[in-house]
Structure 1
Amino acid sequence: MEAKPIYVEINIHSSLDQVWETTQTPSKHEQWDIRFSSIKYLPKAEGEPQHFTYERTVLPPFKIKGWGISAGDHNGKNGARTSSLHFGTNMKSSPIKEGKGYWKYEPQDEHVNFMTQYDYEVPFGKFGSLIDRILIRPLMGWGTALSFDVLRRWLENSESPRSQYMRFFCSWLITFFFCFIWIYHGLVPKLIFMHPKEITMITDLIPLSNETGYRLVQIAGGLEIFFGVCLLIFSRKRLLFFAMALLFPLLAIVAITADPQALQAPFNPLTFNLSLMVLSIIGFFLHKELPSARNCRRKRK
C-alpha cells in the first residue's frame, strides 16, 4: 500500500502579507519550523526559482543537510498564493531522499487558511518504506502540524517560537519524569518486590492485618501505575498537575505520621514530596496553552 502524502492545514488570524513574509523569509522560517535548524537562500537571477540549503541537527554533532528549490505564485483565485517546493539530500544516512510539495495561502474574512501537502521518496527499499510508515512519516506530520501551530501563536499572540518550544519541551520533560516516578513506585516497591515498609506504613496508621495491608499496597501500586499512564494519554494535563500539587503534601504528612523518625533520614518524605509538589506547580503553569499538533487539520475536508 502506497503511503499517503502529508497534509496539514490551519487558520491563522493575521494578514496574508504577514503570513507570507514569516514563512518565506529564511531567518523567520527557521525560527518556527521544527523541521529545520537553518535555511540559507542562494543567489538567484530575477525570474528564476529560489534555491536554498537547509540543515537539521538531529543529535549533536549529527546533522542532515539538504537542498531545496521554491517558487511563489501570487496570482491565485481570490488573492490566494502558492509556493511550490522541491527538496532533497545527498546524505545516505537521511531517511528522506527527495520530495515535492506546496504551501497554499487562502485569505478569508478574518484569517488566512494556511496549508501544505508534500510527499517524498525514501532510501533502503522495502525496509526504508516500512520504517517510514511506522516512524518517520508520522513524526514528520506531527512536526509539521506542531510547527504550524507555533507559527499561528507567534502571529496571533506575539509569543516567540523559541519561548513556545522551550515551554513545550520542558512541560513534556516534567510529564515524562512524573510518569516514570508513578509507574516505578507503583511497580517496583509495591507490586514486584513488595517492600516491607510499604505494608507497615499502612498497618501503623490503620489497625489492619498484614494480609489486608498487603492487598491495599497492591491496589495502591495499580493506582499509581494507572495515574502514570494517564499523565501520558490524558489531554487535560493541568488538572493532573493540580491534583499532584495537592496530593504530595498529603503523602508527606501520611508518611511522617506513620514513621516520625523518617525526618532524620536523607531524602526523607518531607523533602522528597515537597520537591515533587514544587515541580507539579511548575508543570501546571508550563502546560497552559501549549502549542499542539492537534490544533491543525491533518486531512482534507
Structure 2
Amino acid sequence: MGLYIEARIRADLDDLWTRTQEPSQHQRWDLRFTRITYLPRAEGEPQRFRYATRVLPGLTVAGTGVSAGERERPDGTRTSALRFSSPHPLSLLAEGSGYWRYVPEGDGVRFLTGYDYRPRWGRAGALADRLLFRPLIGWATAWSFDRLRLWLERGITPERSLRNWLAELLVRALVVLVAGTGLALERFLPVLGPLAASMAYLSPLLLALAISVALFKSPLPGTPAARRCLRRPPTRVRAPRVLHTLETPR
C-alpha cells in the first residue's frame, strides 16, 4: 500500500468501530469525504456505497465503492477493506483500494490504515500526485485520525475540533504577519533615536523566533494534528485477505 497512517486511541473497540463504520458518523470526522451513503444490499453481499467530496464551493467529486469487514477474528482484531472508483473527470483518483485494522492494545486500540490508488490524467496526473496530491491526502488522513481520537478520548466533536484548528491556524498566521510587519518597519527605526535604532539588530532574531514558534510549536491538546500519527509502518504489513475478495466498482 502506498500510504500508511496509524493512531493510538484510548477508547472502547465497539465505539471506535461504530464511529468508523457508520456513514453518518464517519463523514463527520474524515476530512476526505463530505458525504457517504450506503446502498441496499442482500444478506451476505459486500456493502456498496456512494461517496462525495466537496473540492471547492460548487464543485463536488463523487464516486462509488464496495466494502467488507471482519468484526470477529480469532486474534481479537477487526478488519475492514474497500475498493473504490470515481468516473468524475476532475477526480485525480481513478480507482484504489485500502483497509482499516483495529488492534486492541492495553487500554486502547491501534487504529491503522493502508491504501493506494491509481491517478488519472497520464504523466501529468502522476506528477501532480507525487508532488502535491499524495502528500496532501496523507496529511488529511492523519489529521482526520487525530480528529477522531479527540472525539473518542476527550469528547471534542469533529465540528468543534475543526473550529479549534482554524482558530489556532489564524493565531499562528497573525504571529508571523506581525513579526514580518515589524521587520519591514525596521529601516525606519534609526530616525526615532538611539534606543530604537538598537532594536533594529533584534528584529531579524525576533522574526525568526516568531516564525519558529508559529510553525513548530506543538498544537494545543484540543486541536487535531497530523504529526501525532505514525506515518510509516513499524514492520512490514500486508493487506488483509478480505480485500482480495472485492471487485473494483465501475
TM-score range, shorter chain: 0.7 to 0.9
For the residues of structure 1 that align with 2:218 and 2:192, how far apart are their CA atoms?
Answer: 32
Question: Where does residue 234 of structure 1 map in the other structure?
Answer: 216
For 2:205, the equivalent position in structure 1 comes to 223
Hey, what does 2:241 align to over in structure 1? none
Secondary structure in 2 matching 1:47 = coil
* Structure 2: 5+ residue stretches without partners: 235-250
> Is 1:290 matched up with 2:223?
yes
- Provide, for residues 132-191 of structure 1, a one-character-per-residue CA deviation record: whole Å limited to 9, x for no partner: 1111111111111111111111111111111111101221022112212212331x333x
- Quote the Cα distance in structure 1 between the aligned partners of 2:216 and 2:151: 26
Instruction: State the 1:289 CA deviation.
Output: 3.7
Q: Please give the secondary structure, in 1, of the residue aligned with 2:75.
A: helix
Matches within 5 A, 1:90-239: 90-186=87-183, 188-190=184-186, 194-195=187-188, 198-203=189-194, 205=195, 213=197, 216=198, 218-236=200-218
Between the two proteins, what is the percent identity of the paired residues? 37
TM-score, reference length from structure 2: 0.86
Q: CA offset at residue 228 of structure 1?
A: 3.9
Q: Does 1:46 align with 2:35?
A: no
**Whose helix fraction is larger, Structure 1's or Structure 2's?**
1
Q: Residue 297 and residue 102 in structure 1: after superposition, are their counterparts in 2 closer, same or farther (change >3 A)? A: same
How far the C-alpha of 1:47 sits from its partner, in A, is 1.0
Point out the structure with the larger strand share. Answer: 2
Aligned length, in residue pairs? 234
- Please provide the CA RMSD for this pair: 1.9
Distance 2:191 2:221 in 1: 40
Q: Is the 8 A contact 2:97 2:115 kept in 1?
A: yes
Structure 1 runs, 4 residues or longer, greater than 3 Å off: none
Aligned residues of 1:86 and 1:101 also touching (Cα < 8 A)? yes
AA paired with 2:13? L
Question: Comparing both chains, which one has the higher relative contact order based on Cα–Cα distances under 8 Å and sequence gaps of 6 or more?
Answer: 2
TM-score (norm 1): 0.72
Distance 2:226 2:14 in 1: 24
1:68 to 65, 82, 88: 65
Inter-CA distance 95–200: structure 2 relative to 1 (3 Å threshold):
same
Aligned equivalent of 1:88? 85
What is the Cα deviation at residue 43 of structure 1?
Answer: 1.2
Indicate conservation of the 8 Å contact 1:183/1:228, yes or no. Answer: no
